[in-house]
Structures are given as C-alpha cells and as structure tokens.
Amino acid sequence: MHSIADHLKFFRQFLRSPKMVGSVIPTSQIVIDHLLAAVDWSATRVFVEYGPGMGTFTRPILDRLGPDARLIAIDTCRDFIDHLGDAIADPRLRLVHGSAADIESILAEEAGGLPADYVISGLPFSTLPPGVGDGIMAATERALAPGGALLIYQYSTFVLPLLRRCFTNIRYRRLWRNVPPCFVFVARKG
C-alpha cells in the first residue's frame, strides 16, 4: 500500500517523463492480486519485474516468493531504483538501473545465466519509442525458461500484436472491477 508521499513522488516522475512512466497513479490491488495468482510460486527461482516504479508489485512479489528465489527489478528511472533501494531491504531483491531491452545480459549478471521463470511488465508499451516494445518482447521470449510466462497489465490492447509476434500461447482479459478497467495478459513460452 502506498502513502500519499509515494503517490506524489510517482506523479512527479510522470510529469518529468510522461511517456516512460505512462500512468499518473500506481497499479491497484485488484490487478496485483489477479496477476500474481497466475504464478506457480513453488517452482519459481528467478522472477523479473520490468518498470517497478515505486514498488507496487515488488513488495507483493517478495511476500510470495520462496526464500531461495530472487527478484530482479529493472527500471530506466534512477530515482525509482534509489527509492526502492532505500525502502526495501531484502537479500532476494536485485535492483538494476537499466532497460528491460537488456534482460539477457542482466540475467547473465544477476542470475548466473539462469532463465526467468516469470517476467512481469509494468512498461507503458503504447508510449515507448518506436521499435523499443518489439525489441523488449523478443528479448523477453528468449530470456524465459520453457513453460515460463510473461505477465502484463495495460489499459489498452496495444500490446497484443507485439505479443503475438513472439508468443503463441496468450490469454488475456479485461478486469472491469479496476478503475479504469485494465487488461491483463499471460503469455507462456512453449
């Protein structure tokens, strides 16, 4: 749960980089609970989070993650990474200031080359610079373990053609209970 100060910090980052942050408020509990229910936590060794922002998903993921697993959270915004480093002390969490496009080299460094069992993405695909979303999608497919899954939450279906270019097993639905209604996607490798 975020404080008012956290919401203001997030909003300030949105004003600085609207296209990179892509949303004025952090994601809601409804979306968090729905997406994380798709995860087989007992079989998860490496979990990757793209665009953690203020840690909306980071804490709930750590609450569910096994003691020997690791969470690698990657964000292009240095302020978000610094905030998370100050706010969360957990040896399972690796914070990386960088781009999701570099997931393969980041896994080589942070997970000893192990593939990702799950990647969750909070990236604003519809406002990323042209080509960046496609590059991230292809790199993510390569970085996932067979049977691994990419979990995405978005406020439109913009990401669907990008997903279909890299994955064949895709499920998605709209969460009407969320305000505004949010699309959640689960794309499985293999």
Interacting residues toward ligand SAM by CB under 6 A: 20-23, 26-27, 50-53, 56-57, 74-77, 80, 99-101, 122-124
The answer to whether 170 and 163 are in contact (CB under 8 A) is yes
User: Taking the complex as a whole, how short is the minimal distance between the CB of residue 67 and ligand SAM, in angstroms?
Assistant: 24
Look at residues 106, 114, 101, 108 and name the one whose alpha carbon lies nearest to residue 140.
101
**Strand-pair category, 116-121 with 46-50:** parallel
- By C-beta, is 18 or 190 nearer to ligand SAM? 18
C-alpha 2: how far from chain center = 17
User: Taking the complex as a whole, how short is the minimal distance between the CB of residue 28 and ligand SAM, in angstroms?
Assistant: 9
- Residue with nearest beta carbon to ligand SAM: 51
User: Taking the complex as a whole, how short is the minimal distance between the CB of residue 54 and ligand SAM, in angstroms?
Assistant: 6
- By C-beta, is 21 or 187 nearer to ligand SAM? 21
Cα–Cα distance, 25 to 57 (Å, whole number): 13
- By C-beta, is 3 or 42 nearer to ligand SAM? 3
- By C-beta, is 62 or 169 nearer to ligand SAM? 62
User: Taking the complex as a whole, how short is the minimal distance between the CB of residue 190 and ligand SAM, in angstroms?
Assistant: 24
150 three-state secondary structure = strand
Cα–Cα distance, 91 to 139 (Å, whole number): 26
